Chains A and B, each alone.
Chain A
Amino acid sequence: MRTGVTRIAARPWGAAVFLLLSGACNPAAPKAAGDLTVFAAASLTESLTALEQAWEQQSETPVTVSFGATSQLAKQVQEGAPADVFASADAEWMDTLQAAGLVRTDTRRDLLGNRLVVVVPKAAAFTPRSLADLGRAELRRLALAGENVPAGRYADAVLAAAGQTSAVQPKITRGDSVRTVLRWVADGESDAGFVYASDAKASPAVVVAFEVPAELQPKIVYPFAVLSTTDTPQVAAEFIAFCASPKGRAVFEEAGFAVLTP
């Protein structure tokens, strides 16, 4: 009564190969139907991670959040990455995806606001107090996010509006996300950096040197939307609603965001 398979499995190496192959047919973590995938801007790391856990306590749908630079995530969506929800750090990238037909426009909402600040390392020798101070010789390296990352774009615009671009140009190093900028300042590799108020709160190794003055403060908006590639539009919309719920708002405010009234 020995079938072909049993004969192979009878020998030790055959058993190993058999186990490997059967394991390969049942991979540990593909996107099972119903799992929710969220792409979110790096600055939402702490808040969305907390909300992720809260969500899973009250819903049977597991959620996976991928954090990164908005620009990188948006490019991935353009290339066909299977995400259900996109939380962008600026309206432009969401517009880009929308123009490409990748967004369910009726689900888009501007959920959060933020403020741009300049941070310095905790034990900094020199603390700038204004945008003009950034041009001083004591400050040798200034970190900004990349030219295509929202935080980087905002910072470029602020510097241009204040007429400081040429003064700081030679000192600028560009990180691929706002979190990289935060890390550089926290490690002391950079003397100062432009990050969001929420990021400054997230790291104990940096202090806010000053906030970008109100008249130059860019209109920072975090649009959330359900992507058109999703096969679970209902659950995706529920997730966004959860983020906008009182529970969600409390978490975001704690992290330093401004919650925009819908």
Chain B
Amino acid sequence: MSTLDPWLAIGLSLRAAALATLLSLPAAIALGHALARRRFLGKALVEAIVLLPLVLPPVVTGLLLLRVFGRRSPIGASLAAAGLPLSFSTGAVVLAAAIVGFPLLVRSTRSAFEAIDVRYEQLSRTLGWGKVSTFVRVSLPLAAPGILAGSVLAFTRALGEFGATVVLAGNVEGDTRTIALAVYTLLDAPRSDPAMRPLLAASVGLSLLAVLVHEVLTRHHLERLGLHHE
């Protein structure tokens, strides 16, 4: 008899993916805008590093994270001493999810900003607004649908993350056993486990929904800006 609770896994996956996406947003927005608008030394290197979690095998990403945040590392040891061990905790699930979703998020925010005519921002500056005010009053609202679409994409990726999670977060029922890990665990069961059905349904259903929402948002974003490029 399995002690595996599919609803616990589903809830954990949703919470972790949402948290991961939310926490990554500020950095992704700032980075996306910088990559879209500015030229700076080492830009290619930054782009490459951001892209890395997208092209590395997720298990490798997880292993690298373990080296940095595991109990034996300086960072991990001090976290553990402070009573907040990162590896094998829900925090690790969020971290792994955030890292693998980050490249997708930055790509989307960058595209969203690139689609905005830079002259809107320049015009705002001539109206007396500084760089930060212009960003908040003009750039962000115009990029919002695209950023939202990117968030949905990153959320979906985070929801399905497995390789990095299993290496960094282990398989702790309730704390780190996400949908993917639960399915993986159930694969070994001698007979098909009834817990499999809600897990599969949730996984497929949520992903489909997310992709649909992403499509709608992307189109809305383009329409909003398309009408004003004369």
A71→B187 CA distance, assembly (Å): 9
Distance between Cα atoms of A125 and B4 in the complex (Å)? 31
Q: Judging by beta carbons under 8 Å apart, are A174 and B70 in contact?
A: no
Q: Is the CB of B171 within 8 A of A146?
A: yes
Q: Is the interface of B mostly helix, strand, loop or mixed?
A: loop
Check B3 against A147 for contact (C-beta < 8 Å).
Answer: yes
Whether B4 contacts A189 by the Cβ 8 Å rule is: no
Answer yes or no: A217 CB below 8 A from chain B CBs: no
A-B contact count (CB 8 A): 64
Interface residues as binary, B177-208 with A (CB distance below 8 Å gives 1, 0 otherwise):
00000001101111000000000000000000
A140 at the interface (CB under 8 A from B): yes
State whether A189 and B171 are in contact (beta carbons under 8 Å apart), knowing that A75-B187, A147-B3 are contacts in the complex. Answer: no
| Interface residues on chain A, number (Cβ under 8 Å) | 26
CA gap between A244 and B73 in the complex, in Å: 44
When distances are taken between beta carbons in the complex, the residues of chain B under 8 Å from A174 are 170-173, 185
Residues of B within 8 A of A84 (CB): none
Q: Are A148 and B87 in contact (CB under 8 A)?
A: no
Name the one of B71, B174, B188 contacting A71, with C-beta atoms under 8 angstroms.
B188
Cβ-defined contact, B170 with A175, below 8 A? yes
Cα–Cα distance between A254 and B26 once the two chains are bound (Å):
57
In the complex, A105 has a CB within 8 A of chain B: no
Query: How many positions in chain B have a CB within 8 Å of any CB in the partner chain?
Result: 23
List residues of chain A with CB within 8 A of the CB of B88.
141, 173, 189-190
Interface contact A187-B170, CB-CB below 8 Å = no
List of B residues within 8 angstroms of A184 by Cβ: 170
B2, B171, B172, B189: the one within 8 Å of A176 (CB):
B171
What A residues does B2 contact at CB under 8 A?
Answer: 147-148
- Complex Cα distance, B88 from A173, in Å, reads 8
Other-chain contact of A69, B4, B172, B188, B190 (Cβ < 8 Å): B188
Q: A147-B4, A174-B171 are in contact. Are A187 and B188 (CB under 8 A)?
A: no
Does A189 lie within 8 Å of B188, measured CB to CB? no
Residues of B within 8 A of A149 (CB): 188
Query: A residues touching B (Cβ–Cβ < 8 Å)?
Result: 69, 71-72, 74-75, 92-93, 96, 140-141, 143, 146-149, 170, 172-176, 184, 187-190
Return the 8 tightest CB-CB contacts between A and B, nearest first: A71-B188, A173-B170, A148-B188, A173-B172, A174-B171, A188-B71, A96-B190, A148-B189
